[in-house]
Amino acid sequence: MAKQFWKPGNMLYPLPAVMVSCQRKNERPNIITIAWIGVVCTNPAMVSISVRPQRHSYNIIKETKEFVINLVNAELTRAMDYCGVKSGRDIDKFKATHLTPMESLHVSAPGIKESPVNLECKVTKEIELGSHVLFLAEVKGVTVEGELLDNKGRLNLSKAGLVAYSHGEYCKLGAKVGKYGYSVRKKGKKR
């Protein structure tokens, strides 16, 4: 079958599927599910999330200028989906999903204790794009589940069983098929 030409659309899949936690002072914390997320810079470590202004978390992040990105594994997928279809205006998502707020070291927003990796972020810039506002943020700290470290302290993120979002579906990430630079390594060297 020949390739088809479609109208412009967001077909850059799969994407990380994450829960972003945020909180105003003296209010309950909230969780929003985000798939419009990306890495934008190595040094300083920076990420982006895009949020619709109609979402409850949008004003929290806009006012506080901080949030925590919580990576999601297969065990957290149901909670993540729930946080994407329910509004924090109406319910306490931490309580409803039986997740535990975890104190952060660099931001006021809590992380999610059950998440294998938490990235504490401070917003540096907002860009209005149309349906979404992009928040550029610097990663101020990272918390990693100890079970993901090998005996030399190196992170083995594939052990986390992370989930990706692909065109309306959540997919568990699979087996390693290569490693950065393996295509140019000399024969006999490990991949």
Instruction: DSSP letter for 93, please.
Output: H
What's 28's domain CATH number?
2.30.110.10
Tell me how long the chain is: 191
List CB contacts of 148: < 8 A, sequence separation 6 or more.
116, 117, 155, 156, 157, 159, 160
- Is position 5 within any domain? no
Helices (H), the chain: 56-64, 77-85, 93-97
- Tens place of pLDDT per residue across the chain (191 aa): 999 898 888 878 889 999 999 999 999 999 999 999 999 999 999 999 999 999 999 999 999 999 999 999 999 999 999 999 999 999 999 999 999 999 999 999 999 999 999 999 999 999 999 999 999 999 999 999 999 999 999 999 989 999 999 988 999 987 778 888 888 988 766 65
3 falls within a domain: no
The phi and psi torsions of 178 (rounded to 5 degrees) equal 180, 180
Closest of 19, 99, 26 to residue 67, by C-alpha: 19
Range of the domain at 49: 15-184
In a domain, 7, yes or no: no
The set of residues, in sequence order, having a beta carbon less than 8 Å from that of 158 and lying 6+ positions away, is 173, 176
| 3-class secondary-structure state, position 115 | coil
Q: How many domains does the chain have?
A: 1
Is 46 within a domain? yes
Residue 90, domain member (yes or no): yes
How open is the CA angle 49-133-32, to the nearest 5 degrees? 50
